[in-house]
Structure 1
Amino acid sequence: MFHEEHDHKQIKILGETQKIYENLIPFLDCIDYTVSKEKYEVKKNAIYDMLVTVPVPENLEDYYKSKDYISHTDSKKSLFDKVYQAVKFITLKRKLKLMNSFKTSTKNILDVGAGTGDFLKTCKENNWNVSGVEPSLDAINIAAVKGVFLKENLSEFKNEKFDVITLWHVLEHVENLKEYMATLKNLLSENGRLVIAVPNYKSYDANYYKEFWAAFDVPRHLWHFSQNSIHTLFSEVNMSVEKTIPMKFDAYYVSLLSEKYKSKKTNPFQALYRGFLSNSKAKTSKEYSSLIYVIKNS
């Protein structure tokens, strides 16, 4: 089944990205716990030091249609919702502080995968000129109520330039990865910054939970990055990583979900312990559960 669907889908993958699918070796099998309960292979590309989800479903957009897909809602019903929303309030302040550290004259920012618009709302309230992209119409409608008006596709931005482009846990979802990276580079002003947050499959929590690690999130996460892969991929479009910043809250949130997948129970104390252990070990290894990369033109 994997082979037939994988071959069929790759017809739609563009040339440069297609190369990442070459010479893959088995790594592990994961289950889609959010929507379909289907099994997917996660394979390794040793050249880029990254993992790849196969196959890519033809109807990938349907795998985002779940009340549990929290970035498209403002839900506060479950324990996970409440933790997510509480942490989001704190991280928004930290993200804004990072944005304000970039000395720009026009303060034009583009958020790709803007969700329900909270980050752009925070930026707008702090004198940034905001633009955003979000494929979910439900999320777009929620953002509009907050005064943040989003477009559906990156292609709607033609000749514009941005001082900062952000992708908060978005790059792992992009189908034609290399081509998308080139598009982002073209939208960036000469001295602009690309800010990308992605999970790190080399973290302690990833290695501990293995196929139950929630940040694999197959099939929605097509790519699973290491620090090496981010450096290598962006060097190919003449960009370089200027700074790497840990996202320490992610270890706890991901561990909460991973415990639920692994033991069929919430186990908050076990999850908090694993999150703490992950961050503690990362003080030495620098392999945090998720990382923010600040990237500039070389």
Structure 2
Amino acid sequence: MFHFDKKIIQVKDYSVSKEKFDLYLDSEYDLLKTMPFPELNELGKYYESEDYISHTDGTRNLFEKVYQLVKKKTLNDKIGWIKSKHSNIQKILDIGCGTGDFLFRANQEGWKVFGFEPNEKAKAISKSKNINLIDDLDSFEKHTFDVITMWHVLEHVLDLDKQIKQIKSLLKPNGILIIAVPNFKSYDAQFYKSDWAAYDVPRHLWHFSKTAIKKIFKNYQMELIHIKPMYFDSFYVSLLSEKYKTGKMNPFRAFYVGLLSNLKGKSSKEYSSHVYFLKNLK
């Protein structure tokens, strides 16, 4: 499906290995791919860090405190977004549910919730919140879920084709898939260039644009029906990008860049991260 024939930028893994990776572009899909592309048995070592924040409920430092504060605010936003796109939700699946906070909040709406999380540390935290976790997505019958969510997960998936086919099978006809991913066409990405924290190589294997999401899912008869910006992501990403760029958090500069990114996004429609709403057509 893809043809990655143009090297765009070289990016460093600041979090774990300090290795360098190249990002290649498929011009037709406007999609970047991390190269060399890790094998499944290699990926685990790149997640072995106490600083991998989506696998912890930690508040050890300013960065983690900001992350957890923003997470609480966005949980209610996510619930509202889902309600606006689906009027009769019974079952919801969160793929890559992390520490389970979203599903814990979704359960309060009376929805029957299920989570899938491969990381053992995050899974243990999620289980402590009585989240119904499953180990095999193929154990469900076809067309089980009204809504499937992937909050900053799709960029981690090794086999996009296999994952999307599985999601389509699990969604009911007219069911909604909700995906949140970083946007490499945002102002903060252009500003920080190779130090942009949301590249997060090689954990982020794919780097999506709006064009990429629309075209990829159209191949699976899934229609992009709405896009929403994630305003807080520009501040969170800029804060970490400052650390990568200068060795310090520089919160005031990060706030300025994050704010400027959101302001420029109002005209360009290119924000630091987007939430995509896709309908399963059949």
Q: What letter matches 2:77 in structure 1?
A: R
C-alpha distance in structure 1 between counterparts of 2:86 and 2:180, whole Å: 21
* TM-score normalized by the length of structure 1: 0.91
Match of 1:38 in 2: 19
Which stretch has the larger CA shift, 86-95 or 62-71?
Answer: 62-71
After TM superposition, the structure 1 = structure 2 runs for residues 82-231 of structure 1, keeping only pairs within 5 Å, are 82-159=65-142, 161-231=144-214
Contact 2:234 2:258 in 1 (8 A): yes
**31, 36, 54: which one aligns with 1:50:** 31
**235, 238, 263: which one aligns with 1:280:** 263
Match of 2:215 in 1: 232
Contact 1:111 1:131 in 2 (8 A): yes
C-alpha distance in structure 1 between counterparts of 2:87 and 2:199, whole Å: 35
Q: Secondary structure at the match of 2:204?
A: coil
Q: What letter matches 1:184 in structure 2?
A: I
Contact 2:176 2:279 in 1 (8 A): yes
C-alpha distance in structure 2 between counterparts of 1:294 and 1:35, whole Å: 32
Contact 1:199 1:224 in 2 (8 A): yes
Q: Secondary structure at the match of 1:208?
A: helix
Match of 1:263 in 2: 246
C-alpha distance in structure 2 between counterparts of 1:233 and 1:152, whole Å: 26
Match of 1:3 in 2: none
Between the two proteins, the alignment pairs up a number of residues equal to 279
C-alpha distance in structure 1 between counterparts of 2:88 and 2:206, whole Å: 34
* TM-score normalized by the length of structure 2: 0.96
Contact 1:140 1:149 in 2 (8 A): no
Deviation at 1:138, TM superposition (A): 1.2
**232, 243, 246: which one aligns with 2:229:** 246
Change (3 A) 1:103 1:223: closer
Q: Secondary structure at the match of 2:110?
A: coil
Q: What letter matches 1:35 in structure 2?
A: V
Q: How large is the RMSD of aligned CA atoms in angstroms?
A: 1.2
Deviation at 1:108, TM superposition (A): 0.6
Question: CA offsets, 1:176-228, max 9 Å, x none?
Answer: 11221111111111121000000000000001101000000000000000000
Contact 1:48 1:228 in 2 (8 A): yes
C-alpha distance in structure 2 between counterparts of 1:134 and 1:166, whole Å: 12
Question: CA offsets, 1:88-138, max 9 Å, x none?
Answer: 000001011112224444521000000000000001111010011000111
Is 1:290 aligned with 2:264?
A: no
Change (3 A) 1:23 1:94: closer
Match of 2:10 in 1: 29
Q: What letter matches 1:56 in structure 2?
A: F
Which stretch has the larger CA shift, 263-272 or 100-109?
Answer: 100-109
Deviation at 1:32, TM superposition (A): 0.5
C-alpha distance in structure 1 between counterparts of 2:153 and 2:92, whole Å: 16
| Structure 1 unmatched runs, 5+ | 1-18
C-alpha distance in structure 1 between counterparts of 2:79 and 2:192, whole Å: 32
| Structure 2 unmatched runs, 5+ | none
